[in-house]
Amino acid sequence: MQTYDLEADGLRGMNSILQAQSGETNQTSWEIVNPKGSHAIAVGLDAPIEVTVKGSTGYYCAGMNQQATVHVVGSVGPGVAENMMSGTVIIDGDASQYAGATGHGGLLVIKGNASSRCGISMKGIDIVVHGNIGHMSAFMAQAGNLVVCGDAGDALGDSLYEARLFVRGSVKSLGADCVEKEMRHEHLEILADLLERAGADAKPEEFKRYGSARQLYNFDVDNAAAY
């Protein structure tokens, strides 16, 4: 394992080294120590490497991730795994606002709670939150799956497209055009797989599914009050 002391050697050098890794590297395991809440740690990675951050981070940790597995032994600031394409990002603690925003693929696991706008404009990413999520989560979510083992705040799924939302606990309120939907066998299979991959011990049958009512795709004067 390669160890990088962020306090001693600096953020720019760390990201340059990690971004230079490729599929042919033999330095496949990295440990980042002394992050001390630094921003933009392990961003723009594009190699099948494993990066463990020993401590909490600031905003945009693991942003634009491809292929890599990033594990934060702590909590993260706003925008973790923003615009993620593939790979896996695991957060042992809590996540601040807009976790997984605009993510196109890969798996984001938050073992604590996530704040507001979790999964905003998600485009194919899978997000599993072991705890609760805040208001306006999955706003304009287009594709992918958001799994919440706890409760959801106000306006869940506002202006939702075709992303699937699974919530085990209570939902304070649903956003415009978001409705509860039938949980069919194929959805239980998707959910069981995600829960297993995320290390969550919840049972798929304990969740409810929410999705788009498809009333806001095109303007209809009869739905004007919902816009």
| 155, two tokens | 């306006």
Residue among 80, 75, 71, 73 nearest 43 (CA) = 80
Residue matched to tokens 């919840």: 202
pLDDT of residue 22: 87
pLDDT in tens, 173-182: 999 999 999 9
pLDDT of residue 219: 60
Which DSSP string corresponds to 31-59? EEE--TT-SSTT-S-BSS-EEEEES---T
For residue 134, CA distances in Å to 156, 173, 221 come to 9, 11, 31
Q: Is 169 helix (H, G, I), strand (E, B) or coil?
A: coil
* CA 94/CA 80 separation, integer angstroms: 11
| 219, two tokens | 């303007």
pLDDT of residue 224: 64
* CA 92/CA 113 separation, integer angstroms: 10
pLDDT of residue 220: 67
**Residues in the chain with pLDDT values less than 70:** 218-221, 223-224, 226-227
Angle at 10 between CA 9 and CA 11, to 5 degrees: 140
